[in-house]
Chains A and B, each alone.
Chain A
Amino acid sequence: MLDFGVVVANFKFLIVQGLFGVGSFGGGTLRLAIPAIGLGFSIGVFVGLARLARARWISVPATLYVEFIRGVPLVMVIFWIWFIIPQLLKLPIPEYGVALTAFVIFEAAYFGEIVRAGIQSVPRGQVEAATAVGLTFAQTMRFVVLPQAIRNMVPALVTQMIVLFKDTSLASIIGYVDLTKAAQIVNNREIKPFELYLFIAVVYFIFTYSMSLFARRFERRLAS
């Protein structure tokens, strides 16, 4: 009754095109997820620091940005970017650009919050002691606060990276050929949803579960 042959027949398309992005459709889950995580985290660090800045003209926009992003669904942000960017640039933009921009804008806010919480979890006494010893603000950040903050942040950071990896599936809504869209394309033709979606569920599971196992090992090493 269940026919997994459809998975076997389209395995190459699903994995090579959908997961890795090698093929005539562009696309690729990994091709989107890896830069999105990298850029999202990097910008997130600045966002987190900006929220803690003493200058209000920096901290207020940063806070508004974070509160705004956290109050809307990712799907909505994707639609905004899908419409606004080509209007502004007057050029057709490949789905990849739209998806990457939307994810970076969205995730940077969440990474920013994690960075902020991590920095704020470092006891105030540390900062005071550092100042007493004569370190400048920048030196305090670099040598005292950030190293401790990073250790606190790692669990939440990795969790967020895993979340971002799963969120890339939403890029399929605008036609980006990731693993989910590849499964949809095959399903639209072969009509075997149970087999196909179960298959990609397992593929996603393998990736995210491995990421969380790796994270746990990394945490243990940091703690020692």
Chain B
Amino acid sequence: MNAGGSDEAGFSGPADGDLVRLARDGDPAAFRLLVERHQPMVRARARPLGDPGDVDDIVQEAFLQAFLALDRLRDPDKFAGWLAGIVFNVGRRLRRRAPVTLVADWPEALHPAAADGQPSAEDLDRADAVRAAVAALPAGQRRAVALHYYADRPAGQVAATAGAARASLHKARRRLRSYLTEHRPDLVPDAGRTAMTTVRLARIERRIPPGPVPDRFPTHVMVLADDAGGRELPIWLLGRDSHRFAKEAGSAPAADQLTARLLAAAGTRVSAVEVGELGPEVTVARVELATPGGPGQVTTRLIDGLALAIAAGAPIRVAGPVLHRLGVPAGTDGDRSVPEQTARDLRLDQPVAGAPANLAFADGLGQWAVGGSFTENPVRSHWQDYTARAGDGAAVLTAAVPEPAGFAWLAQEIGADRYRGAVVSFRGRFRVGAGAGQAGLFVRVTGARDVRGPFTAAAAEADPRNHLVPVESDGDWAAHEVTVPIPDQAARIAFGVFLAGPGRIELRDLAFTRAG
């Protein structure tokens, strides 16, 4: 400790770095010195971040987060800059969310009051979490925390000796951080970590969304509720997941229940399942494990992660930005009535067509379908990024927004029976406007039971079942053709055009024939 020195910021007394090190060792006086020293700076930075009434909250929360995160400050000498970053993040979060009164220094009554004198739901939630964390401490540490932080007794008086007091507070702080990290990571500050909100599974229900729906149309929706924020996040179950949950709606499928039991038998607990981002081609969850060897993480498909959380009774946490962007006010998530069985439901059991049809678009887009990776999105936010229409003997697949997500196709699918062993040709005239993304025509040949793999543009390009011919975006009509041998084990053939990115691709004068 550089007693009597002066640090870079010109403060007299111990340098910030030394105070941080002392505070980490359990010296509460050191942290109080840091608070006194930096409070003017924190207050000045907090003022522009919120209403005047928020400043105290931001200041309190920033110091609380700094206190809890002190062990993770890499360079103690840079405490001031680190603290300034915390202030900014606290203020930014406060602007995003409903104003809350923050629990600072575990207040005496553990019932923080909001501006109107009543604790908000979030305040109580935080207070409960802190109360539970304190209650989980060993008796000696709990007493030290209560005396020092609640009753404001000097550290030297919370145990028999000053050394014992420091040790108790040090251990207590570590335990509190560990507890909160495991149970309520959304309350634990980390400059590089996105704030997560704990949600609950409100319901899984049979529903077909109104309006345009994805190629692999959903029949069920899983609704996650953020009760404190009054928001809901609908997750649509696509493709095989619709059927997976349809059989066992409301509970985790048997396979996931088995996984939870296997993990329990291995002495491992699913401590949380986190959803950090959602969107086309980004549909994953992170499973947090508490294993005998320490914490672990495994990334899974979104639905697999959620199913496991349900089966294991683990909390589900969603990143704040995801909830902010995709959440809807509770109770406004569309029509909750169970729809009658529709033609779309029946489509799964319909045999595919035996031969190409409507190649001149006389019947509009009859026999044609639009799909693509943009539909592989369980939150509807990009389900309308691409669209298609037909008229005057031509059709067009077009991006409906300036920056569409993923890729799209306009295609029809036929049975391969009459083409096995032959070479087929799909040809026509195509036009791609200037400035468009990647576009072209394709033929896709699949077996009877092919399981569709990852549905990304890169995966589609690399998939040997896809035969792609790009079309230049020069704005001129041009003839193109793709020829493909059809193997004996082929079951289905899809042909059409694709578009990845903005712009449009038009097609006309089409033919699909045996070429050999």
Q: Do A and B come from one complex?
A: no
